[in-house]
Amino acid sequence: MEKDPEPRRRTVGEVGERALIGLFTAAAGRFDDDVVIGSGDDAAVLRGDGDVVVSTDTAVAGRHFRFDWSSPEQIGARAVVQSAADIAAMGGSLSGLVVSIGCPPETPVDRLLALNEGLVAQTHRLGGRVLGGDLVSSPSVILTVTSLGYLAGLAPVTLAGAQPGDVLAVSGPLGGAAAGLAVLSAIENGADPTLAQRFSGLVERYRLPQPDLTQGPLAARADAHAMTDVSDGLVEEIITMAGASELGVDVTSAAVPRPDGLDALAAELGVDPVRWALTGGEDHELLAVFAPGGVPDGWTVVGAVTPGPGGPTVDSEPVTDLRGWQSFSEA
């Protein structure tokens, strides 16, 4: 097997798994002292630091991302945010992750390397390391990121634990990812292509949500009673949270922070901006319940926990018509 001078110009099938894994390992960079063994052996070994938080998330081309709507770097980075947000939602900090990539053999190598570069850079930005992975042939591109985190002595913050009288707060604005996706969909369906430039901030929120995940451990230190990240839309999350605590959770729709440009875009497309904020998924901001008076700086109160089992409500009304996103349709 001769050394390939230009692997980036070839396909994954031409270059082969082993050569690609060598390129990936090089991109993962030097490991810190907390990684005993890194990428390239049977398994990675991470220095023990108390309890381990673990979560896995998969993104599939055509369903969770599109190469004509996002750059490969953004697709890789977004898969990291999606998985790391689950660590933050327990009050944890990212220590490292492993990634499995499936792709067709005809995938260009430079696309795969760019995806990996986005993934590695985002992992480093969040304070973690890429520990290893797997590369397989599959009918479409599919990315599974499994994140490991540490709690640094904090108790994990679960979905349950809300108390009547608690307040519900979010770490940032909601609906931006859904609005950005709506821009790209509208253009595909014939809308003015300048929409993407005029609302570029929202499109970027879809392509790469950038929640401040350090707010997860911060909320845990502030004694959050329950926490999750907003991956399926605020309404879906309060359904889950109310179910876990067997209490009611009521959201005040006007209080939910909306990102810049969202109201203007909604007016232009003739839709309700509040609906985006209530049901739009994939912002990955954190949603937590605190004792009254215990909400950390930077969080916005959006509702309250009510004596149960009243179930989840928005402006005191049931949420029946406000369901969010799921991977499969509901029966």
Close Cβ partners of 145 (under 8 Å, ≥ 6 residues apart) = 56, 57, 79, 80, 82, 83, 97, 98, 99, 119
* CA angle in degrees (0–180, nearest 5) for 78-79-82: 85
Near its own copies by CB under 8 A: residue from 80, 81, 87, 235:
87
Is residue 181 close enough to count as binding its own copies by CB under 8 A?
no
By beta-carbon proximity to its own copies, the closer residue of 61 and 195 is: 61
Is residue 215 close enough to count as binding its own copies by CB under 8 A?
no
Q: Closest distance between its own copies and the C-beta of residue 46, in Å?
A: 5
- 51 in Cβ contact with 82 (< 8 Å): no
Asked if residue 64 belongs to a known ligand binding site, the reply is yes
Q: Closest distance between its own copies and the C-beta of residue 225, in Å?
A: 14
Close Cβ partners of 69 (under 8 Å, ≥ 6 residues apart) = 184, 206, 207
CB neighbourhood size of 24 (10 A): 23
In the chain, the N- to C-terminal Cα span, in Å, equals 53
By beta-carbon proximity to its own copies, the closer residue of 149 and 248 is: 149
Asked if residue 303 belongs to a known ligand binding site, the reply is no
Is residue 251 close enough to count as binding its own copies by CB under 8 A?
no
Q: Closest distance between its own copies and the C-beta of residue 109, in Å?
A: 11
By beta-carbon proximity to its own copies, the closer residue of 44 and 203 is: 44
Asked if residue 325 belongs to a known ligand binding site, the reply is yes
By beta-carbon proximity to its own copies, the closer residue of 123 and 228 is: 228
Near its own copies by CB under 8 A: residue from 56, 197, 214, 316:
56
Asked if residue 282 belongs to a known ligand binding site, the reply is yes
One symbol per residue from 112 to 141: x for binding its own copies (CB under 8 A), - otherwise; what is it?
-------------------xxxxxxxxxx-
Closest C-alpha among 172, 147, 143, 148 to residue 83: 147
Between CA 117 and CA 123 the distance in angstroms is 10
Site for its own copies in 15-34 (CB under 8 A): 15-20
Place of tokens 């889950």: 240
Task: Count CA atoms within 13 Å of residue 313 on its CB side.
Answer: 15
Near its own copies by CB under 8 A: residue from 79, 112, 119, 148:
148
Asked if residue 55 belongs to a known ligand binding site, the reply is yes
Binding site per annotation, positions for substrate: 64, 282, 325
